[in-house]
Amino acid sequence: MSTLDPKWGTPGLMHDPQLLAHFVPRPTDVLITTAPKAGTTWMQQILHQLRTQGDVSFESIFDEVPWLEAPRTGVTWQDQLAQYESLPNPRIFKTHCTYAQTPGTEVARLILTVRDPRDCCVSFFHHMNGLNLELLPGAPASMHFDDMQQCVDRFLSFGAWYRNVASWWPHRADPNVLLLRYQDISADLAAAIDRIVAFLGWQLTPEGRACTIEHASFAWMKANSDKFTRQSKGAPSVFKDGAFIRQGKVGGHKAELSREQAAALVARAHADLPPECIEFLELA
């Protein structure tokens, strides 16, 4: 058996290097690439709505927009890739991989969403503590935080947000890349949708546009949380009520982080990212 290039990473609960190494990208593919908690699911819903002009018949968004590198219980990586192969164009995938680890960066279109690390950290706290761990066999005890400080410490030591943004930032102006800020999508969802459609060159009817705006609103997604919290059709929701499509606020961290915690998260961004990126993220 051939050994994999170490760049695809090591196997984990949500990461199968085999899926990345053997994935065959298509020019029609769209990859949503985000640091965790930066609005990934929101973009999955926006793109699925645009692709279908408003379909809401699905039970789980993950059946429509799979998480590329995440293994599925009881499914081999070969079968999972065969399932990806069977999907019609345009396929849409979500990934949390860095630029170097994402297959298809030369082939597919890529939509990046970035969000303030302080809001991502707070969202991560509620994500972990909102999980129904009994529904996730094999989940380590570390998937629960005793308090916010523990979450901040782990956010910094794991460093996924910083690695992810640092890796994508140099590619923000590549012709096949669209970089969007969470706060801009939040301030004007319709404008963000128009930018995405123009970038992808997809056809959109006025009715499809109106449906996308409605179905990608926070209120609609909150009222239909089940579609975004189960890993596949028929599976139970892995989150407690209201824990995942939670608040959807810009700056919500102010009510939950101490001054020191917020400062530590921002200081690390200053250390890891170039000044233009800090300015773009409004972290100066």
**What does the binding site for ligand A3P look like in residue numbers (CB under 6 A)?**
34, 36-42, 119, 123, 126, 186, 216-218, 221, 245-248, 252
Q: Tell me how far, at minimum, the Cβ of 123 lies from ligand A3P, in Å.
A: 3
Q: Which one, 184 or 272, has the nearer CB to ligand A3P?
A: 184
Q: Which one, 122 or 277, has the nearer CB to ligand A3P?
A: 122
What does 74-114 look like in DSSP terms, one character per residue?
T--HHHHHHHHHHSPSSPEEEE---TTT-TTTTTSEEEEEE
Q: Tell me how far, at minimum, the Cβ of 229 lies from ligand A3P, in Å.
A: 10
Q: Tell me how far, at minimum, the Cβ of 252 lies from ligand A3P, in Å.
A: 5
Q: Which one, 68 or 245, has the nearer CB to ligand A3P?
A: 245
Report yes or no: 42 and 54 within 8 Å, Cβ to Cβ: no
Structure tokens at 271: 């250390």
In the block, tokens 């899926």 appear at 19
Q: Tell me how far, at minimum, the Cβ of 263 lies from ligand A3P, in Å.
A: 20
Give residue number: closest CB to ligand A3P: 248
Q: Tell me how far, at minimum, the Cβ of 45 lies from ligand A3P, in Å.
A: 7
Residue type, 230: R
Q: Which one, 37 or 91, has the nearer CB to ligand A3P?
A: 37
Q: Tell me how far, at minimum, the Cβ of 3 lies from ligand A3P, in Å.
A: 32
Q: 212: buried, middle or exposed (CB in 10 Å: 19+, 13-18, 0-12)?
A: buried
Q: Which one, 5 or 282, has the nearer CB to ligand A3P?
A: 282
Report yes or no: 180 and 34 within 8 Å, Cβ to Cβ: no
* Spatial separation of the C-alpha atoms in residues 57 and 73, rounded to whole Å: 24
Q: Which one, 38 or 112, has the nearer CB to ligand A3P?
A: 38
Q: Which one, 51 or 77, has the nearer CB to ligand A3P?
A: 51
**Plot region of 4 (φ>0 → left; ψ -120 to 50 → alpha; else → beta):** beta
Q: Tell me how far, at minimum, the Cβ of 108 lies from ligand A3P, in Å.
A: 19
* Spatial separation of the C-alpha atoms in residues 92 and 104, rounded to whole Å: 12
Q: 257: buried, middle or exposed (CB in 10 Å: 19+, 13-18, 0-12)?
A: buried
